Structure 1
């Protein structure tokens, strides 16, 4: 597992990195001074990013927010030295999957990193399921709109309207939702989903 350690305090970052390097199963990299976090992630493609902040603030979280881009998205574990509910909620909103309040890094950080990766995987899977459900709902809405319009313009029943959409989709080897969207667009209805 490759771990990227990001901490503006070089002494603290070195101590944490040294603790992690004691485990031969971990490849530990540090963000060099003067290098942006996003650039380090692009360069090293870590499995997890560990951000240790003595006094985490919203400005510091902005650099982490950039990691929510699909090409860079990585699980991020955040270590702070004081409890701040607003900061914690902001951190979770931007995609941090492990928020840990510790005065000093624990001797064994691996369980926290594994938990961060597991939570990240679960979040990503749930987000994918939500996106798919929203896509299906939008498609069904489009189909229903097209059926209503077809029923109105052709003076047919709902069943006849659906059969027409389905037959056209089969003839064109396309999805019914795509045919419905084209039908709506051809009649000036556009995409209202």
Structure 2
């Protein structure tokens, strides 16, 4: 059973809460306010749902912060169909923005699609972060090799194998060893 946090704002959510419960979701309904981020961190729901007329700048900012601090799938049901509002909501990394309300019979599928989209977004973010880290490590390794080539008259192959052996002997990654070599070279200048 999924735990749904239904945030009260400017719309009456009694019907939405009833539909969520009928669809088999465990629903907790609270008022949106200044303590939003703290409440979400404490409750740790599986999905957060808003039903409102239009998302405010404050809400969109809170959703961006939530995405950075505790990524969760967020579904917004809104009456606002303006393209600028939709783009701002998407930039806040929500999982679904549904215009013109909800239908009880579609609610479960909307939530499950939002969950799937959220998982896909998280996988892409993780892959991107891993690629960035690998690229940064590669740059550090190249800098460390250049230092060893210049100061120890190593060939590129010898410099790489030396870095690799040092990293293995110390049980650290090649990137960490490269950082250590770069830092040591800076100290010895």
Same fold (TM over 0.5): yes
CA gap of 1:92–1:151, structure 2 versus 1, over 3 A, is same
Instruction: Please tell me whether residue 139 in structure 1 is matched to residue 140 in structure 2.
Output: no
Unaligned runs of 5+ in 1: none
Q: Structure 1 CA distance, aligned partners of 2:171 and 2:20? A: 55
Compare 141-150 and 154-163 and name the one that shifted more: 154-163
- Does the 8 A contact of 2:163 with 2:178 survive in 1? yes
Among residues 145, 150, 153, which one is paired with 1:152 in the alignment? 150
Q: 1:179 to 1:41 in 2, by over 3 A?
A: same
Taking structure 1 as the reference length, the TM-score comes to 0.87
| Deviation at residue 33 of structure 1 after TM alignment | 6.8
Partners of 2:7 and 2:32 within 8 A in 1: no
Q: Does 1:19 align with 2:16?
A: no
Structure with greater helix share of residues: 2
> Where do 5+ consecutive residues of structure 2 fail to align?
none
The two structures, once aligned, show a CA RMSD in angstroms of: 1.9
Aligned pair partner of 1:105 in 96, 102, 106: 102
C-alpha distance in structure 2 between counterparts of 1:178 and 1:9, whole Å: 51
| Shift, 1:170, TM fit | 2.3
The 1:175/1:66 distance shift into structure 2, 3 A limit, reads closer
What per-residue deviation string (whole Å, max 9, x for no partner) do you get for residues 141-185 of structure 1? 100111111111222211111121122222222222211110101
State the match for 2:183 in structure 1: 185
Q: In the alignment, is the contact (CA less than 8 A) between 1:37 and 1:64 conserved in 2?
A: no
- Going from structure 1 to structure 2, the CA distance change for 1:151 and 1:40 (only over 3 Å counts) comes to same
Counterpart of 2:47? 48
Aligned partner of residue 94 in structure 2, secondary structure: coil
Superposed displacement of residue 37, structure 1: 2.7
Is residue 31–residue 37 contact of structure 1 (8 Å, CA) maintained in 2? Answer: no
Contact 1:7 1:52 in 2 (8 A): yes
Determine if the alignment matches structure 1 residue 9 to structure 2 residue 6. no
Shift in CA distance, 121/171, structure 1 to aligned 2, threshold 3 Å? same
**Pairs within 5 Å for 1:118-133:** 118-133=116-131
Q: CA deviation at 1:100?
A: 1.1
**Distance between the aligned counterparts of 2:184 and 2:34, measured in 1?**
52
Q: TM-score, normalised by structure 2?
A: 0.88
